[in-house]
Amino acid sequence: MIRTRFAPSPTGYLHVGGARTALFNWLFARKYGGEFVLRIEDTDQVRSTAESAAGILADLQWLGLDWDRGPVPGDAKNDYFQSMRLDIYNEYLNQLLQSGAAYEAYETPAQLAAMRARAEKEKRPFRYRKNMPGRASPGAGPSVLRFEMPYETVEFNDLILGPISVGGDEHDDIVIRKSDGFPTYHFAVVVDDHLMGISHVLRAQEHLMNTPKHLGLYRALGWTPPQHAHMPLVFNMDNTKMSKRDKSKAARHAVQMRLKQDASLTIDSLAAKMGIASASLQAFVQQKMDDPAITGALAGALNLQLPEIDVQDFRRSGYLADALLNFIALIGWSPGENREMLTRDELRSLFSLEGIGKTNGRFDRKKLLWMNGEYIRQADDQKLLKAIESFNLVTEYPLKQASAKVLIDLIGMYRERMGTLAEMAENSRFFFGPPVYEPKAIKKYLATEADIAHLRQIAAILREIPTPWDAASLAGPMESIIALGDKRGAAAQILRVAVSGGAVSPPLLETLVLLGKDVTMQRLKELEGMVQAKPPV
């Protein structure tokens, strides 16, 4: 039976790279009627948090990647958290100790660092081996357990990359039990993959060099290893690795720009505005730390658009789960036949390891944006309504106040003209409150006395419309308004500015209907007052 797993460590949010790994494992299991296991690798006691684990679960659920075995959302830790399996690891750790395959080592981290530094200075690779000279002898300090890796070439057939071979003197004796008694990743992963019956390990290529070590462990334990497949990595467009630090990097860059541009802005005043100690902000700006909380606060204070990295970033930016999944699947995998818009079912039936390429890909946000727009345009009202409700759960736009009925109206107006739900949320603000008049638009469309005369004529035309104020009753008057200008459309822009505040909005007819007569007339009047009080030069 095919059984795959996704095994994140709960040290942060689920980022798109992890989501892709999860997706491929999920697709592979689902395609062949196998099982998909989710396991939380929380063997790093310092960095792992329960909130992070819960967040990863929530993100996977939002993506619709369901697991057959694993943690139960909302429940306490179960067997699929490695921190709950210490007894199991200890049993096998003892087995290796007794068989002589593992041994204790006593170096402190500082000693190891010194040994590495010396090796580097002498221009030779550092490998910790049992028979190397200068090993520390048992002392008062805690010890770790290391696995004695045989001095043999390890060969295996990677299902994506083909035959891989690593020479015997490249190995070193990895730590398998840390001094805090927890197993290391290398050990826990082998034990769990075996015990959980994982048949295929599909993971990112950054793990390729771990595989020989894991294979050594399988052999020492007397187990048959699973098949391995290492997928190409995903990078930013500038070829840097996509990482959560991209967000702090962008925030830091923005702060430095603003400080340069705006002399009145200082670290102190900014920190005060953000409600944090200026020493913290200082440290952040000087790259001494990358606190995500500061990054977030900075984005709020400076109104920044940070690059989306984590799954929840994309959710908050108004990407649809299906679109994100479809897009991510296409980085490093292709179904052939020039196909790329693929439903979840198509993805599943078309997926194969053979379709996975060997070259690293770049994350092209422009294409994702296009694809998300395609998904939005193809979705029916109900589907979009659901997506918006999900979006509203994690964002704070005025759109949040809208009833389902109003949302349906807005969907009709924005479906064709939005790339993300956030664009709709942003652009539809004027439906929920007074418009913010853009000086540029006023200057362009209400520059002359003739423009202001048109504004009054528009108001006069609209005022005469009897109830009901609807598409039918507005159609004729709208034509008259358009006919007002010498250029077709010029007068319509005046009305558009009046109701929306800017030069861009959905078609006026629908816009006016949704706004209602009272609001429309009021905004017309308000704009007239504005331009009269401050006559354009």
Subset of 397-426 contacting RNA (CB under 7 A): 416-418
For position 118 contacting RNA by CB under 7 A, the verdict is no
For position 159 contacting RNA by CB under 7 A, the verdict is no
- Nearer Cβ to RNA (98/165): 165
For position 107 contacting RNA by CB under 7 A, the verdict is yes
Among 4, 6, 7, 527, binds RNA (CB under 7 A): 7
User: Given the DSSP bridges, would you call strands 162-166 and 144-147 parallel, antiparallel or unpaired?
Assistant: unpaired
For position 280 contacting RNA by CB under 7 A, the verdict is no
CB of 293 to RNA, least distance (A): 21
For position 326 contacting RNA by CB under 7 A, the verdict is no
Residues ≥6 apart with Cβ < 8 Å to 470 = 513
Interaction residues for RNA, span 465-524 (CB under 7 A): 478, 482, 488-489, 492-493, 496, 503-509
CB of 116 to RNA, least distance (A): 5
For position 350 contacting RNA by CB under 7 A, the verdict is no
d(CA 533, CA 452) in angstroms, rounded, equals 12
- The one-letter code for the residue type at 26 is W
User: Given the DSSP bridges, would you call strands 361-362 and 200-204 parallel, antiparallel or unpaired?
Assistant: unpaired
d(CA 70, CA 157) in angstroms, rounded, equals 28
Q: How many residues bind RNA (CB under 7 A)?
A: 92
> Can you read off the two tokens belonging to residue 87?
């007894």
8 A C-beta contact, residue 473 and residue 535: no
For position 155 contacting RNA by CB under 7 A, the verdict is no
For position 358 contacting RNA by CB under 7 A, the verdict is yes
- Nearer Cβ to RNA (103/235): 235
Q: What angle do CA 260, 261, 266 make, to 5 degrees?
A: 60
d(CA 44, CA 182) in angstroms, rounded, equals 8
Q: In sequence order, what DSSP letters do the residues of 382-407 get, joined into one string?
A: HHHHHHHHHHHHT---GGGG--HHHH
For position 166 contacting RNA by CB under 7 A, the verdict is yes
Angle between helices 278-285 and 245-261 (to 10 degrees): 110
- Nearer Cβ to RNA (254/353): 353
For position 320 contacting RNA by CB under 7 A, the verdict is no
For position 180 contacting RNA by CB under 7 A, the verdict is yes
Interaction residues for RNA, span 192-221 (CB under 7 A): 205-210
For position 456 contacting RNA by CB under 7 A, the verdict is no
List active site positions: 244
Contact letters for RNA, residues 371-390 (x by CB under 7 A):
--xx--x-------------
Interaction residues for RNA, span 13-42 (CB under 7 A): 41
Q: Which residue has the tokens 């095994």?
A: 7
Interaction residues for RNA, span 53-82 (CB under 7 A): none
Q: What angle do CA 85, 184, 106 make, to 5 degrees?
A: 120
Q: What's the distance, Cα to Cα, between the start and end of the chain in Å? A: 78
For position 241 contacting RNA by CB under 7 A, the verdict is yes
Among 5, 20, 30, 186, binds RNA (CB under 7 A): 186
Q: Which residues of 145-155 are buried (b: 16+ CB within 10 A; e: fewer)?
A: bbbbbeeeebe
In this structure, the dihedral spanned by the alpha carbons of residues 221, 226, 229 and 235, taken in order and rounded to 10 degrees, is: -60
Among 54, 164, 254, 408, binds RNA (CB under 7 A): 164
d(CA 156, CA 314) in angstroms, rounded, equals 37
Among 131, 137, 165, 303, binds RNA (CB under 7 A): 165
